[in-house]
Structure 1
Amino acid sequence: MTTDLTLVVTAHDETVVSGPTMTSADRAVEAAEAAGWSVQRVIALDAATEHTRAFFEQPAFDHWERWHFEEADLGRVRNALLPRTEGRFIAYLDADDLFSENWLAEAIATLDAAERRGEQVIAHPELNVIFDGSRTVLVNIGQDSPLFTPHYLYFRHYYDSLCMAPREAHLEVPYVSRDVPNGLSYQDFQFTVETMDAGWWHVAVPDTIIFKRRRDFSLVTESNARKSVLRAVPAMAIDRVRELGRRRSGGARA
């Protein structure tokens, strides 16, 4: 039987803050299963500290598969775990973040409907609520919004790394490795640009939320401090960017 979704919780150096994360994940999985979807639950321990490994080895998490990696990199670990996943769709959750109980069920329904229509779609929550180190609410803009413009991508990313995408999107557009010391980061940002260029359509799923914990030190804060940028992506060239994410007549993607 085909599994609808593989949910991957990635953990590195988190311990007690992951308690609410795992509660959030379990409730969202239960809501998805109640809606008729099947879910594979995976904890990806990537270069995890001793305390992190001990936390996730608790019997309370025995209903999750535990996979161990030594990539120490968001993009590389996602690429490495992909061949072992069972789901038609893949979703991620960082071990110190949370999401709304309806996120998985609503996003699966969105992607399943798109798949049946023959459309290539990647789903994002409608809201990102930043908490802890800072307090911000970000509204995610889908490509079908009149507010969407690819030129905005010169300044910042529209979305967060915790999207839900069909397995094929990750196979077609693998993540690049980060090189923060040399000012190259934002792998999820590059994934967005490259998938848009490849014809994937990014949507925001109404009434869904991801809660992002902003810590004093994280990959995002380090990358921002070093003024990191994307690698050169042909689709972002000044004479091409206006075509990024456009639909051709008849509804086909450019």
Structure 2
Amino acid sequence: MTDLTLVVTAHDETTVCGPTMRSADIAVAAARERGYVVQAVIALDAPTDATSRYFDQPHFDHWERRVLHERDLGRVRNAVLADVDGRHVAFLDADDLFSENWLAEGVAALDAAAEEGRRAIAHPELNVIFDGRQAVRLNIAQDSLLFTPHYLYVRHYYDSLCLAPRAAHLEIPYVSRDIPNGLSFQDYQFTIETMAAGWEHLVVPDTIIFKRRRDFSLVTESNGRSSLVRSLPAMAVDRVRALGRRD
């Protein structure tokens, strides 16, 4: 059985993918050394010619390749999930990186939670923002005393690069973004909907995701248009206090 599928998604990236793919290879090797079976997939979503040529290098022949034409981060993730083998799935955008222990420790945390009967989704302890902007963000676990669902009225607790059971993604697919109409932040909505469905969001100590902030990205475009998360029942004023509560 495949324990983990890592999916690197690419559209118009080229040389910035070098550090990304090295980071991914190192993390996959570390997970395999821990005894996990890992499937490594590159998902090219409506790739530019330059991106296709970059990933067509023999250097990446140990990766499986999928070519899709969704032109949407949520839809490409949903599509590739139908064609992977892992019990758990991790995503990595082609211009980002993560710490070499992220995959191994993430799978271990999810398996430990499952043994206790908990349905869990894992996030790294730190998000380090670099390039166009510099910042360090500490992720807050759902069982932390600092966690409050009311914070989700203001901003998202986590980044889109989570590590989750494939079953979570099949139960709660990503919605399509509609930035022109001010609807975006698919990962934000995924967090709210999975919490409402009983999935626990936990943080894996001593793990890091490095997020490249480019001058133009889905995040900057969404923020520039003042995009919002869709209206969700779990965020209603008379229900939000119960979101993420573990009785």
| Both proteins in one fold, TM over 0.5 | yes
In structure 1, what is the Cα distance between the partners aligned to 2:55 and 2:173?
27
Q: CA deviation at 1:118?
A: 1.9
* Secondary structure of the corresponding residue to residue 141 of structure 1: coil
Alignment of 1:134-173 (within 5 A): 134-173=133-172
Partner of 1:182: 181
Q: CA deviation at 1:115?
A: 1.6
Q: CA deviation at 1:42?
A: 0.1
* Secondary structure of the corresponding residue to residue 87 of structure 1: coil
RMSD: 0.5
Partner of 1:92: 91
In structure 1, what is the Cα distance between the partners aligned to 2:80 and 2:133?
31
Partner of 1:230: 229
2:23 partner amino acid? S
In structure 1, what is the Cα distance between the partners aligned to 2:139 and 2:68?
31
In structure 2, list runs of 5 or more residues that go unmatched: none
* Secondary structure of the corresponding residue to residue 84 of structure 1: coil
1:143 partner amino acid? Q
Count of residue pairs the alignment pairs up: 247
In structure 2, what is the Cα distance between the partners aligned to 1:115 and 1:142?
17
Identity of aligned residues (%): 72
Q: Can you list the C-alpha shifts for 1:30-83, whole angstroms capped at 9, x where unaligned?
A: 000001111000000001100001000000000000000000111101111111
Q: CA deviation at 1:216?
A: 0.1
Q: CA deviation at 1:178?
A: 0.2
Q: Can you list the C-alpha shifts for 1:127-148, whole angstroms capped at 9, x where unaligned?
A: 0000000000000000011000
Partner of 2:54: 55
* Secondary structure of the corresponding residue to residue 82 of structure 2: helix
2:78 partner amino acid? N
In structure 2, what is the Cα distance between the partners aligned to 1:244 and 1:177?
23
In structure 2, what is the Cα distance between the partners aligned to 1:152 and 1:15?
36
Q: Do residues 75 (structure 1) and 74 (structure 2) align?
A: yes
2:211 partner amino acid? K
* Secondary structure of the corresponding residue to residue 156 of structure 2: coil
In structure 2, what is the Cα distance between the partners aligned to 1:71 and 1:153?
28
1:187 partner amino acid? Q
In structure 2, what is the Cα distance between the partners aligned to 1:217 and 1:171?
30
In structure 2, what is the Cα distance between the partners aligned to 1:146 and 1:85?
36
Partner of 1:20: 19
1:167 partner amino acid? R
In structure 2, what is the Cα distance between the partners aligned to 1:144 and 1:245?
8
- The list of structure 1 runs, each at least 4 consecutive aligned residues, that deviate by more than 2 angstroms after superposition, is none
* Secondary structure of the corresponding residue to residue 32 of structure 2: helix
In structure 1, what is the Cα distance between the partners aligned to 2:234 and 2:159?
20
In structure 1, what is the Cα distance between the partners aligned to 2:113 and 2:203?
13
Partner of 1:111: 110
2:82 partner amino acid? P
Q: CA deviation at 1:219?
A: 0.3
Alignment of 1:117-136 (within 5 A): 117-136=116-135
Q: CA deviation at 1:7?
A: 0.1
Partner of 1:242: 241
Q: Can you list the C-alpha shifts for 1:121-178, whole angstroms capped at 9, x where unaligned?
A: 0000000000000000000000011000000000000000000000110011010000
* Secondary structure of the corresponding residue to residue 3 of structure 1: coil
In structure 2, what is the Cα distance between the partners aligned to 1:218 and 1:70?
18
Q: Do residues 213 (structure 1) and 212 (structure 2) align?
A: yes
Q: Can you list the C-alpha shifts for 1:77-119, whole angstroms capped at 9, x where unaligned?
A: 1111111110000000000000000000000000111122221
In structure 1, list runs of 5 or more residues that go unmatched: 249-254
In structure 1, what is the Cα distance between the partners aligned to 2:6 and 2:173?
18
* Secondary structure of the corresponding residue to residue 3 of structure 2: strand
Return 194-203 or 73-82, whichever deviates more.
73-82
